[in-house]
Amino acid sequence: MKRTLCTLAVATALTLAAPATQAHHAFGAEFDPNRPILIKGPVVKIEWTNPHAWFHVEHTNEDGTKTVWMMEAGTPNTLLRRGIHRNSVPVGTEVVIDGYQSKDLSKRGNGRNMTFANGQSLFMGSSGTGAPRDGADPTEPPRPQQGESDGE
């Protein structure tokens, strides 16, 4: 009986953990490195959640209409190490976020840099498989000079 209860408890724990594990993805699975975007406007909502934080920004389109974009950032722990914490970007803060649009062309993107009105810029992007080597990630090795091999 104890063995059955123990097995049931482990199976339940694994089942409950599965959605969080499946929700995490590589950059290349969801975002298009060939679709750079620049989103400007006030932050209207922040989701400080795992596996990625999301900054919702109200962008004014060329025709004057407004669209709220969901811009994915790194994990909350990674953002903390980069100087972004839960209260460092209050709702209403004007930001410029450059990044890459989702492959499904929805109003979602992976933010790389967040720039504030005072010119301060923070790297907010998630890195890893499929993320562009665009020089925005301060932890990425420098690009090789022309004629040099990058070892890949």
pLDDT digits 0-9 by tens, 86-99: 888 999 999 999 99
What does the pLDDT read at residue 15? 42
Q: What is the mean pLDDT of the chain?
A: 79
Identity of the amino acid at 3? R
Closest Cα partner for 95 from 79, 65, 71, 64? 71
132 contact partners, CB below 8 Å, separation of at least 6: 27, 33, 100
How would you classify residue 128: left for phi > 0, otherwise alpha for psi between -120 and 50, otherwise beta?
left
| DSSP conformational letter for 16 | H
Q: Which residue has the higher pLDDT, 52 or 56?
A: 56
Q: CA-to-CA distance for 99 and 106, rounded, in angstroms? A: 14
Distance CA 125, CA 110 (A): 6
CA distance 77 to 49: 10
Cα 57 to Cα 124: distance, rounded to the nearest angstrom: 14
Tokens 């091999």 appear where? 149
Q: Is the pLDDT of residue 135 over 70?
A: no
pLDDT of residue 21: 39
pLDDT tier at 25, thresholds 50, 70, 90: low
pLDDT value for 122: 87
Instruction: Write down the pLDDT at residue 126.
Output: 63
pTM beyond 0.75: the answer is no
**Per mean pLDDT, which range of 1-10, 22-31, 113-122 is the poorest?**
1-10
- Using the predicted structure, report yes or no on whether residue 137 has a pLDDT greater than 80: no
**Residue 25 backbone phi and psi in degrees, to 5:** -145, 165
Q: Between 131 and 69, whose confidence is greater?
A: 69
